[in-house]
Amino acid sequence: GLLAWYASPYLRLRTEVVVTEYQAYRDNNASTSAGMRLEFWRKSLNFFSEAPILGHGTGSTRTLFERDAAGKSGVAAEVIGNPHNQTLNVAVQWGSIGVIVLYAMWFIHWRLFIGRKTLMSWLGLVAVTENILSSLFNSHLFDFAEGWMYVLTVGIAGGMLLRGSAGLKERGD
C-alpha cells in the first residue's frame, strides 16, 4: 500500500477528491460521487436490517430505493438499482443466506487457486482476489462484462487446474 501511495500521484489525487467530496456531502448534502455512494450503502444497510435472513427478493433493490426516495430531495432522492457494493447488493436481495453463499463461492474459488505454482493458478487467484477487492466499491458479478470475465477466467483457469490434477492422478504420478 505504501509503495502504491508514493508511486501513484493518481491514487493520492483520488484520495484527496474522496475526502473533499465526503465533506461536501456531510456539510451541504451535496450530490457528490462519494456522498452518493455512502448514501447508497447507508440505505442498503437499512434495507438489509428490514429483512436480514432472506432479504427482499431478486430485483427488489430499485423498488426499495424508489420507496425510500419519496418526498426527499438531494442525494436522499437518488434512485438506483445497484448500491455499488457486491455484498450489500446480495444482502438486500437475498439476506444473510445470500451473503453466506457469496462468500462461500469466493472462498471455494480462492482455495482452488491458492498454493499452486502454475500460470493458471496465478491467473485464477488474481481474478478472484481482484473481484473480492473491487466488489467493495462495485457489484461486478452483476455487471455483464465484468461478471462474464470472472466466470470465464475462474472457469477456464479452474478447469485447466482440475484437468491437470486429474491427469496426474490417472497416470499415477
Q: How many helices (H) and strands (E) does the chain have?
A: 7, 0
pLDDT tens-digit profile, the chain (173 residues):
889 889 999 999 999 999 999 999 999 888 899 999 999 999 999 999 999 999 999 999 999 999 999 999 888 899 999 999 999 999 999 999 999 999 999 999 999 999 999 999 999 999 999 999 999 999 989 999 999 999 999 999 999 999 887 655 554 54
What grid cell was written down for 24? 461536501
pTM of the predicted structure, to 2 decimals: 0.86
Cα Rg, the chain, nearest whole Å: 20
Contact between residue 150 and residue 131 where contact means Cβ atoms under 8 Å apart: yes
Confidence (pLDDT) at 156: 96
Contact between residue 50 and residue 56 where contact means Cβ atoms under 8 Å apart: yes
